[in-house]
Amino acid sequence: MEAALLVLAAIMGAAGIVLTAASAHGAPGSGLDSAGYLLLIHATAVIGGTALLHQAMLSRTVGMIALAGFVIGGALFAGDVAARAYIGSRLFPMAAPTGGVILIASWLVLGLAALLAR
């Protein structure tokens, strides 16, 4: 599972670069830069969290939930922003806010995972 999280973090990082470049060169003011930065920040968080899991500094189960939340929340938020920029409609109603709430909750769950670590 840790390897899968690292692969997803790499995809998030690459997508973050693509979205920030698209914002700078093709769709300024579309919000793609914010979506890209959000993916880059959370890709780094997934990589760091995976390292903390490996060092047993996080509760494994709770930590995995937090890291999965970073991936899911980031995908929802950035996917919705990109969909609006490129196809003119949302992924589904409230996709970006749902992704944001998942990200906020995931940060809190990450803190809990640290408290519950052995």
Kindly indicate the confidence band of residue 35, based on its pLDDT and cuts at 50, 70 and 90. very high
Which pLDDT does position 118 carry in this prediction? 79
Query: Tokens 């790499």 appear where?
Result: 10
Question: DSSP for 9-78?
Answer: HHHHHHHHHHHHHHHHHT-TTSSHHHHHHHHHHHHHHHHHHHHHHHTT-S-HHHHHHHHHHHHHHHHHHH
Kindly report the average pLDDT of the chain as a whole number: 95
Rounded to two decimals, the pTM is 0.94
Which pLDDT does position 31 carry in this prediction? 85
State pLDDT tens for residues 42-77. Answer: 999 999 999 999 999 999 999 999 999 999 999 999
**Count of beta carbons in the 10 Å neighbourhood of residue 110:** 21
